[in-house]
Amino acid sequence: MSGGAEVVVERVSKAFDGGRIRALDGVSFRIEAGEFIALTGPSGCGKSTLLNLIGLLDRPDSGTITVGGQPLEHLPDDAEYRASTVGFVFQFHHLVPTLNAVENVQVPMMGRHRSRAERESRAHGLLAEVGLSERERSLPSTLSGGERQRVAIARALANEPRLLLADEPTGALDSVTGGQVLDLLKGLRDRYGMTVLMVTNDGLAAAAADRTFALRDGLIRDTA
Ligand SMILES: Nc1ncnc2c1ncn2[C@@H]1O[C@H](COP(=O)(O)OP(=O)(O)O)[C@@H](O)[C@H]1O
Ligand SMILES: [Mg+2]
């Protein structure tokens, strides 16, 4: 029943601790291709759990998730899905500290049938897209918080994902820097047309999205 929608989540439930923690309790929603969705809700309401399920970092107890018309429980290749269908951006950048910016962006491209020259050229291009051409050889420790997050965004786009999952990408940034990162994400969506699902507790970030889903008590309230 995907009906052309890019992401279809149907009655998805997920519990932890032998059922004591009901993180998600029959969540359903659909996202159209190219939409920029903000997912809001109080701490502990299951937002990260939901992103992890859509990114196939974890499995639901029940319910189905379909991305690009493919039910995640029947994918031909889970690793391929994680590496190239979805891109992840987290609150904290998770860059490899010993690799410089242009090397970090190449990490997801390793072992993916791209020559070294192709990888390097693509990483150069992506860093230019996020406005960091001047910092290609910089280690993460020498970059500002906003710059690190830009590198993380470039890395998430390395394999041209159709779906970008961002878990509080501005949560560790001041409001000005966070706004710049948000503008970058929206600009990339406009240019590449990928679908974006972004967890945020920042009202400005939510206001910038096409639609907002509010998650509460394991259920979605679509506040359009
Ligand atoms: N791996 C896990 N093991 C046990 N409990 C977990 C695990 N992941 C999440 N939880 C619990 O599930 C609930 C939802 O967590 P989470 O999805 O991280 O919320 P949010 O991202 O909205 O803050 C919380 O009560 C959290 O403690
Ligand atoms: Mg979370």
Predicted confidence band of residue 102 (pLDDT cuts 50, 70, 90):
very high
Q: Provide the CATH number for the domain around residue 33.
A: 3.40.50.300
Q: With respect to residue 152, please indicate whether it lies within any of the assigned structural domains.
A: yes
Q: Which two tokens stand for residue 49?
A: 């759990």
Residue nearest to atom 26 of ligand 1 (CA): 44
The minimum-distance atom of ligand 1 relative to the CA of 45 is 22
Summarised one tens digit per residue, pLDDT across range 103-132 is 999 999 998 788 999 999 999 999 999 999
Predicted confidence band of residue 2 (pLDDT cuts 50, 70, 90):
very low
Which of 20, 22, 45, 49 has most ligand 1 atoms within 8 Å of CB, for mutation?
49
Q: Which two tokens stand for residue 213?
A: 């889903």
CB distance 129 to 153 below 8 Å: no
Mean per-residue pLDDT for 79-101? 93
The minimum-distance atom of ligand 1 relative to the CA of 41 is 22
Helices marked H in the chain: 47-54, 78-80, 101-106, 116-129, 145-156, 175-192, 203-208
47 lines ligand 1 (CB under 6 A): yes
Full-model pTM: 0.94
Q: Which domain holds residue 96?
A: 7-222
Q: Which two tokens stand for residue 153?
A: 């965004």
CA 140 to chain centre: 20
Strand-pair partners of 87: 164
Q: With respect to residue 1, please indicate whether it lies within any of the assigned structural domains.
A: no
Sign, Cα dihedral of 118, 187, 199, 213: negative
Number of domains present in the structure of the chain: 1
Mean per-residue pLDDT for 162-180? 93
Nearest ligand to residue 41 Cα: 1
Query: What letter represents residue 202's amino acid?
Result: D
Query: What's the gap in Å between 137 CA and the centre of ligand 2?
Result: 31
Which of 16, 50, 197 has most ligand 1 atoms within 8 Å of CB, for mutation?
16
- Name the residue among 156, 52, 142, 53 with its Cα closest to residue 104: 156
Q: With respect to residue 2, please indicate whether it lies within any of the assigned structural domains.
A: no
Nearest ligand to residue 22 Cα: 1
Q: With respect to residue 133, please indicate whether it lies within any of the assigned structural domains.
A: yes
CB distance 180 to 170 below 8 Å: no
Q: With respect to residue 51, please indicate whether it lies within any of the assigned structural domains.
A: yes
